[in-house]
Structures are given as C-alpha cells and as structure tokens.
C-alpha cells in the first residue's frame, strides 16, 4: 500500500535544507500521494511557493488569509482545522530549531504551528539545523517533548553541514523520509500514541582507562525490539550500551551509555513518560569499586579487584511503576531457568519475564535467532519455537499490544 492514495500534509520551514522538500514532494507525488504544502514565511527565503505548488499540483498555503492573487478572486481564509483533519499524516521537513521550539511549547503564531496544534493525524518531525544547534540542550529537550506527545521524530543525519562543520544536523534524505512513511502505512499500528522505552546491549564497567568488565551481549535482540515497536506505531526511546549496530529506524531516539550507572540514570530519566519499559540490556551486576585513574601495570602474580553491586534497574523502576505502566524483563539463565525467572518476575514487580536459556541451541548472545518462554504476572506461560530475533520481537510486540488494548 505504501503512500499511494494517502493525503500528506508537508510543512516546510526556514532551513537551507528546504530545497530537499522539492525532492520529497516529487517522490510522494510519483508514489501516488496527494500532497498539500504548508510553508512558514521564512521558508520562502530558501525555496519558492511556486516550485512546491508546481510539483504538488496544489496551491501552497503560508498564511491564514490568502491574497486575492493567490485565491483567484477575493481574499479567502485558510482553515487550519480543516487541513489538520484532511491529512493522513503531517510531515514537517525540514523542521527548524525555531519551529521545533514553537510546537514543543504550544506557541501558535503562524499557520504551520496552528495546523500542528489542530492535527488529528500522526505527525512526523524531521529536524535540520547546524551541529551545535542540534546538540543544544534546548533543542534536545524540545525533541524529547515532541516525542513524549506521541509525535514521530525522523532523526537528523550525520554529514557535512551548510556551515562547513561535519556532524549530526542534516535533514534526513527524501528517500529515508519516504521509507519511514512507507513503513508507517504498510504496518498495523496497534501501539500508535504509546511511548516504549527499551534498554539494549551490554554495559562496560571500567577497571582503569584501558580495561573494563563486560559481557557477550551484542544488542541484537534489543535493537530488533526497537524496530518492531516502531513498526507497531510506538514512539521508541532506546537506551543502548556499546554495540556496533546501526540504528534500525531513523524514528528511534537512541541514548548511548557505557556503564550500568549511566544506563540506570538514562532509563530512570525517561521512565516517567513511558507506557512500556522493556529491559533487555545485559547490565553488569557488579562494578569495580575504585577504578584506577592510570593504566594498571602487570606486576604481581595475583591481582584482586574489589567489586560493588550496581543499581538493580528492574527492581528500582518496578518499585516506581505507576498504574497503567507495563514492565517487561528478560532472564538469560544457565540452570534452574523457570525458578530463577519466576523469582525475578515477582520480586521486581514485572508484568512479564522473557526467559531464554544458554542451553538452547541458537539462543542467547551473538546469534541472529532466539528461543523464548514468556511468563506473565498471572502465571500464564507462552512458549515459542526457535525464531529469528526479528520474529521474536514481533511476538513480544503482539503480547504487549494485546495487553494495552484489552
């Protein structure tokens, strides 16, 4: 199905990357979409309304009142409410730092922001700005707020910027935005409007500036879960330990951490706004009590390392869980699998525990497959055959979705 026959409202704001909006309109129209462009006044300095109107085959709107020349007669009112109701999706690309700030804070001083506040459809923001602006705490907070409202964020890409700097801030390529929209329309959206927080990968606990304690987790299962939840319509925040994995979907907000403490702090900070928390990361249970500031030299035949227990993320957040929030934990076991999993389920106030065993061929760290058993807080058990981790992720999304809609 993709975007064919879909009504796409495209918001264009004042950014040098506005030239890419012409390419995006062209791709959407060729794919069979009906495109209506709304521009800010500052966007006209970068691309003309005539260009976008010609490509979209529709007049471009930029103000509440169209002039006589624009309307072909007397001045006419542009109804922002009707535009918001007309669209299947509203895509703001490029979304400048100024527009992000206005929308995140509910300001309504132009047509585009009025349409945003009136829109009943899903909204996608594709930010574009210079590196330092994109990294600024104000922009980071505005993107976080927009995501917490249920909007979708198409992350800016890394590359050469108009300023000559190299880094994050480039508008996602039109082909990438098309891919995001196609995925959105092609997949059922049972979790639309829900915020899912996922932890993934290992943690690294420093011994000295060179060495650390870690485990064999690759993050594959957590990243597959993030991709599956996005496809189901959820807004996804992924707190990731060190991995070599690429972000599976540009709509995912990834927070990179290294240590167990950093993972706890990042997860706790985002927990209050989450409807679902999926604790998939392999977090270290112990960390060196006194990491050395300099590299430890090899001298003695025996070396002792004092360890201290790390914060139990599942238990801490399980105790903070509010009514309506759902928690899913994972238990990778080598013996007494079910007994250990049930203990974790109940002592940490989880709604589900996902059990897998290193004794099962093809399950555990490093594989592209997994074999799981899911036990819920009421004692019901769901056993699954060996599947790819992408398929396992789909199964877990279905379990969560079934609970949220029931």
For the segment 269-285, what is each residue's pLDDT rounded down to a tens digit?
999 999 999 999 999 99
Q: Residues 107-149: pLDDT tens digits?
A: 988 999 999 998 888 899 999 999 999 999 999 999 988 887 8
Strand locations in 145-217 (E): 152-153, 157-160, 166-170, 195-200, 205-206, 212-213
- Give the pTM: 0.66
Euclidean distance between CA atoms 363 and 356, whole angstroms: 7
The tokens for 257 are: 């951490």
Q: How many helices (H) and strands (E) does the chain have?
A: 14, 23
Burial track 237-252 (b if 16+ CB lie within 10 A, e otherwise)? bbbbbbbebeebbbbb
* Helix (H/G/I), strand (E/B), else coil: 396: helix
Residue 46 pLDDT: 95
346-363 pLDDT, tens digit each = 999 999 999 986 776 766
User: 112: alpha, beta or left, given left = phi > 0 and alpha = psi -120 to 50?
Assistant: alpha
Known binding residue 321? Answer is no
Q: What is the mean pLDDT of residues 35-58?
A: 95
Burial class (CB in 10 A: 0-12, 13-18, 19+), 325: middle
For residues 3-25, average pLDDT? 95
Position 332 pLDDT exceeds 90:
no
Answer for the pair 129, 97: CB distance below 8 angstroms, yes or no. Answer: yes
Average pLDDT rounded to a whole number, residues 366-378:
87
Q: Is the pLDDT of residue 321 over 90?
A: yes
High-pLDDT (> 70) share of the chain, % = 93
Residue 74 in this model has a pLDDT that exceeds 70? no
pLDDT at 406: 46
Q: Average per-residue pLDDT in the chain?
A: 89
- To the question of whether residue 20 is assigned a binding role by annotation, the answer is no
**pLDDT grade, residue 69 (50/70/90)?**
low
Q: Say if residue 344 carries a ligand binding annotation.
A: yes
Check whether 77 has a pLDDT greater than 60.
no
User: Is 215 designated active site?
Assistant: yes
Domains, in order of start, for the chain? 7-186 (3.40.50.1950), 195-405 (3.40.50.10300)
**Rg of the Cα trace of the chain?**
24
Is 75's pLDDT higher than 90? no
Catalytic-labelled residue, pool 79, 215, 340, 398: 215
The residue among 34 and 188 whose pLDDT is bigger is 34
């Amino acid at each position: 199905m993709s975007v064919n026959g879909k009504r796409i409202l495209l918001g264009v704001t004042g950014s040098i990357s506005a030239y890419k909006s012409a390419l995006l309109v062209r791709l959407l129209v060729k794919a069979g979409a009906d495109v209506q462009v709304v521009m800010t006044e500052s966007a006209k300095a970068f691309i003309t309304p005539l260009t976008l109107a010609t490509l979209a085959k529709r007049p471009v709107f930029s103000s509440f009142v169209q002039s006589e020349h624009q309307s072909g007669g007397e001045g006419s009112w542009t109804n922002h409410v009707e535009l918001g109701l007309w669209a299947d999706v509203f895509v703001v690309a490029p979304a400048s730092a100024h527009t992000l700030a206005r929308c995140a804070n509910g300001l309504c001083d132009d047509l585009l922001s009025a349409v945003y506040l009136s829109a009943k459809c899903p909204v996608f923001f594709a930010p574009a700005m210079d590196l330092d602006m994109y990294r600024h705490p104000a922009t980071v907070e505005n993107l976080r707020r927009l995501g917490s409202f249920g909007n979708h964020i198409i992350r800016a890409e890394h590359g050469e910027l108009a300023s000559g700097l190299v880094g994050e801030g480039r508008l996602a390529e039109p082909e990438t935005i098309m891919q995001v929209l196609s995925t959105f329309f092609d997949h059922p959206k049972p979790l639309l409007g829900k915020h899912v927080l996922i932890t993934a990968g290992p943690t690294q606990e420093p011994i000295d500036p060179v060495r650390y304690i870690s485990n064999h987790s690759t993050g594959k299962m957590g990243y597959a879960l993030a991709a599956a939840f996005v496809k189901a319509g959820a807004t996804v925040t992924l707190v990731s330990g060190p991995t070599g994995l690429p972000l599976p979907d540009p709509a995912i907000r990834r927070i990179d951490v290294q240590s167990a403490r950093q993972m706890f702090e990042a997860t706790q900070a985002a927990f209050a706004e989450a409807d679902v928390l999926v604790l998939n990361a392999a977090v270290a249970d112990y960390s060196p009590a006194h990491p050395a500031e300099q590299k430890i030299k090899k001298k003695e035949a025996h070396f002792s390392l004092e360890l201290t227990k790390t914060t139990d993320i599942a238990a801490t957040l399980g105790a903070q869980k509010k009514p309506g929030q759902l928690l899913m934990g994972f238990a990778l076991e080598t013996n007494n699998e079910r007994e250990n999993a049930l203990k974790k389920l109940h002592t940490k106030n989880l709604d589900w525990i996902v059990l897998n065993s290193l004794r099962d061929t093809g399950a555990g760290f490093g594989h592209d497959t997994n074999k799981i058993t899911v036990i819920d807080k009421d004692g019901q058990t769901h056993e699954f055959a060996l599947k790819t981790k992408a398929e396992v992720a789909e199964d877990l999304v279905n379990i969560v979705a079934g609970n949220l809609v029931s």
